[in-house]
Amino acid sequence: MSEAGNRPGPNVLLSLAENPESTPVRSAWIGPILALGTRLARKSDTFADRQLIVAVSVPSREYAAVLIGVGWTLGRPPAQVATDPLSVLRGALPRGNYRALNATHVISGPFQGLDESRTPARVALAGHWAVDRLEAVAPVAESDPAEKMPRPQVGSIGRMSGVDRDWGRRLVAPAADLAIVGTKSWIGDDLEAVLARGDDGDGDSLASLLLPRTEKSATWFSRIYSSSGFADQLPLPDDVLLTILDGQGAIKYLNDVLSPVVVCVFDRSIADESAAEQVVQLRNSRGEPLALSSQLGWTQPAGIEALGFTVAL
């Protein structure tokens, strides 16, 4: 994560609460699992023409995949596009899709005109908006499911990681290059959890940091797929750079996933060795070992096992 001025020292543990009403619990494993996603985000361009695969074995799958995904989204910069509202809107393509951000909402829809004869200028974009009230605007490749959603806010994790400094740009032009595959209801439960820095009272919901695409999304950072019937969703979009396979039911699709980075999360509480055998077979037949500590800069915490390797794409 970035060297923010209020970055916690080594003795500050992160905490998780099951939901906003629950008591947060601090634990030493949370930070390293989050950091795995961040390290992958920073190193994703290092392994040209090869797919990086990291297998992580945890005592129980709860929160692991989502935390790795959050680390990835925190570590990925927003898309490198202009977001100055007036300059973007002056060059906007008729009926092109755009996202806009004001103090309270994210707005998304086709551009329908800019009226600079009025003061302040107004734009027709999923409604009519004063341009001087917009914080950022960016084009999008395809329409979003919803025209408007409440603006997601960031708390202590956003400040710790430094994403609060460019949060507006992230909301209108996110990298949006993450996919998580697993049991949707379990992932949904994980997303209700609140992550915080130490005892900070303004933690961030995992849902607000991961921003999965839903029918209510006017912006989004990630896609969630059900492992049941996942074969029908393949191949994944080309813009997916990290795919997290959450649990043995998702890991069986490993050979069909072609994203540059793949993380397999094994749940040791489930007695099923078939997925582990599949990963080991792939590593032994086609893989080149990767030293996670020296080549990725990541060391697993106590109670968690991990291995890494690359294969030719």
End-to-end CA distance of the chain: 28
Number of H helices, E strands in the chain: 9, 17
Domains of the chain, residue spans:
14-76+175-312, 85-150
- pLDDT of residue 181 exceeding 60: yes
State residue 197 phi and psi, 5-degree precision. Answer: -90, 110
Instruction: Please list, residue by residue across 142-175, b when 16 or more beta carbons sit within 10 angstroms of its beta carbon and e when fewer do.
Output: eebebbbbebbebbbbbbbbbbbeebbbbbbbbb
Q: Determine which of 4-13, 46-55, 59-68 has the lowest per-residue pLDDT on average.
A: 4-13
- pLDDT of residue 4 exceeding 60: no
Q: Cα 116–122–124 angle (5° rounding)?
A: 115
DSSP 302: T
- The helix or strand, by DSSP H or E, that contains position 305, with its residue range, turns out to be strand 305-312
The contacts of residue 25 (CB under 8 Å, 6+ apart) are 15, 16, 17
pLDDT band at 293 (very low <50, low <70, confident <90, very high): very high
Q: Is 86 left (phi over 0), alpha (psi -120 to 50) or beta?
A: alpha
Q: How many CB atoms lie within 10 A of CB 216?
A: 12
Between strands 261-267 and 50-58, the pairing is parallel
**E strand map for 116-250:** 122-125, 128-130, 136-139, 148-150, 178-182, 194-197, 204-205, 222-226, 242-246
C-alpha 49, offset from chain centre: 23
pLDDT digits (tens, 9 = 90+) for 64-110: 999 999 999 999 999 888 889 999 999 999 999 999 999 999 999 99
pLDDT digits (tens, 9 = 90+) for 16-56: 999 999 999 999 999 999 999 999 999 988 887 899 999 99
With respect to CATH, is domain 14-76+175-312 assigned 3.40.50?
Answer: yes
Give the SS3 label for residue 203: coil
What is the mean predicted confidence (pLDDT) over 223-232? 96
- Give the C-alpha separation, 265 to 256, whole Å: 16
The contacts of residue 221 (CB under 8 Å, 6+ apart) are 73, 170, 174, 175, 176, 178, 209, 210, 211, 212
Question: Which of the listed CATH numbers 2.60.40, 2.40.50, 2.30.30, 1.10.10 matches domain 85-150?
Answer: 2.30.30
Q: Residue written as tokens 């951000």?
A: 101
- pLDDT of residue 227 exceeding 50: yes
pLDDT at 1: 35
pLDDT at 11: 60
Give the SS3 label for residue 47: coil
Give the SS3 label for residue 139: strand
